[in-house]
Amino acid sequence: MSRSMTRDLTEGRPLKLIISFALPLLFGVLFQQLYSFVDTAIVGRFLGAERLAAVGATGSVNFLVIGLCLGLCSGFSIPIAQAFGAKDEKQIRRCVWHAVVLSAVLSVVFAALATALCKPLLRLMNTPEEILDHSAQYIGIIFAAIPCCVLYNMAGGILRSLGDSRTPVVFLVIASLINIALDLFLIIVCRMDVAGAAVATAVSQLISGIGCVVVMIRRFPVLHLEREDRAFSPKLAKSMLGTGLPMGLQFSITAIGSVLVQWSVNGLGVNAVAAVSGAVKLSAFFACVFDALASTMATYAGQNMGARKLDRIHQGLRCTSVLGIIYCALAFGVVALFAKQLLGLFIDPDAAPEVTAMGVQYLTINAAFYVPLLFVNIVRLSIQGMGFTRVAMLAGMSEMVARTAVALFLVPAVGFIGACYASPTAWVLADLFLFPCYYQIMRTVRQRLMPGTSEERQSRKIVRLHKAA
């Protein structure tokens, strides 16, 4: 197999491989957060707290719909990583073609449905009337641009499955710089209000996606499709949907709980919405490390599952856990010392002291639970990379249950402080589900891949396990 641009994660020291693969991913996730970060900062500083609340009020609905799309892209990339680990070039090309076709069709359908339903969804979430129109304007543009979002995430997922975590980052950096410039131009110069931020995000995603596709075509010989590779197989499409849909639904199921929490926060008033908006953006920024480590484990587990190297999966998860826990301690220290100053990026503390105080409280409580968040990410993505996407979806359901309970009972009873504990409660409950599942999956796979069986029989056993999951 030609490997000029690919990276094999089935050989070598796990810690070294994980760090080298995760660092470019971290850089990319940071710049991806920069899209949202800059949008929020410019909106909050140049358009005021009310517009900040309008953009922030769309966060959960955005997660509900966009998360479904991102989950599908992640799910479609798992069979590609496993085929790469098994050194099956033909299967790589077939999976890539089916991933592209399915992503294109589904992204158009999702964009049409989400755009038509965005305002009813916002009303259902109890969005305050004074910000409803601006929220609908912002999220309507984001939803219409779903194909742009899917283009980048599908192309980036394919590249990462083949071991290339750098190329998506390069184009993401370029796109981020364009996003910043467009934000300033469209909001300040063209006076497009919150619509300018949405348009800037959509254009930036389109540029980064096109860049990744160009590199895929030019630099990856293994992806040069032959005629027979383009033959559409309903059986393979069904198999890939069986991997992708559970991951997409996992994001959306988790988002349902977030939507309910946002609904409860919306009922507390504009100040609460603005405070949570700024704090969530900062928390997402700190969580970039968790996202990078999780994406690394998805590819690492996928390739090693394809190569039938289960011990390496466990070694990799252990190394990732140590790295993540060290980071959690550092992140909490930064939040504890500088939360007010960090929130000042979005909110003028002199103009809105109450909003700032609420934001500090929300951010600090969430940071205290970063270790459970770390394990939610890396354990779940390891399970997904191994092909057990339905198990990971059940973890999303546990998060939904926790957030729903907080939104319906705790927030009405104790107010804003209840909302602060919504995500930590969800993370802890998900971990209580994920850890037993991970160890049970490893035991089951080890028992069925008995020593002495032929590679062909082992491969068939793994396929049956995936179908059973």
Across the range 127-134, mean pLDDT stands at 83
Across the range 35-41, mean pLDDT stands at 67
What type of residue is 118? C
Across the range 375-396, mean pLDDT stands at 84
- Look at residues 345, 399, 337 and name the one whose alpha carbon lies nearest to residue 367: 337
Confidence at residue 379, expressed as pLDDT on a 0 to 100 scale: 94
pTM: 0.70
- Residue 268 main-chain phi, psi, to 5 deg: -90, -5
Confidence at residue 369, expressed as pLDDT on a 0 to 100 scale: 95
Residues with Cβ within 8 Å of residue 314, at least 6 apart in sequence: 442
- Dihedral angle, C-alpha 174, 175, 177, 179, nearest 10 °: 170
Confidence at residue 333, expressed as pLDDT on a 0 to 100 scale: 95
Share of the chain above pLDDT 70, in %: 91
Where on the phi/psi map is residue 269: left (φ > 0), alpha (ψ -120 to 50), or beta? left
Share of the chain above pLDDT 90, in %: 20
Per-residue pLDDT tens over the stretch 211-252: 888 888 888 887 888 888 788 888 888 888 887 887 777 777
Instruction: Return mean pLDDT, the chain.
Output: 83
- H helices present in 49-166, as ranges: 49-56, 59-85, 89-124, 129-144, 146-161
How many Å apart are CA 152 and CA 143, to the nearest integer? 15
Confidence at residue 449, expressed as pLDDT on a 0 to 100 scale: 67
Across the range 38-66, mean pLDDT stands at 76
Residue 460: band (very low, low, confident or very high) from pLDDT cuts 50, 70, 90: low
For the chain, the structural domain boundaries read: 19-468
Across the range 79-87, mean pLDDT stands at 82
Across the range 372-401, mean pLDDT stands at 85
Per-residue pLDDT tens over the stretch 7-20: 677 888 888 889 88
Tokens of 105: 């069709």
- H helices present in 307-415, as ranges: 310-343, 353-367, 370-385, 389-405, 411-414
If one compares 294 and 5, the residue with the highest pLDDT of the two is: 294
What is residue 87's DSSP assignment?
Answer: T
Across the range 113-121, mean pLDDT stands at 88
- Look at residues 85, 32, 148 and name the one whose alpha carbon lies nearest to residue 298: 85
- Look at residues 340, 347, 344 and name the one whose alpha carbon lies nearest to residue 361: 340
- Residue 134 main-chain phi, psi, to 5 deg: -70, -35
Q: How far from the centroid of its chain's Cα atoms is residue 379's Cα?
A: 14
Per-residue pLDDT tens over the stretch 150-209: 998 888 888 888 888 788 888 888 888 888 888 889 988 888 888 888 898 899 889 988
Residue 363 near residue 339 (C-beta atoms within 8 A)? yes
| 347-to-136, 192, 272, 279, 314 alpha-carbon distances in Å | 22, 21, 12, 10, 43
Per-residue pLDDT tens over the stretch 338-354: 988 888 877 777 767 88
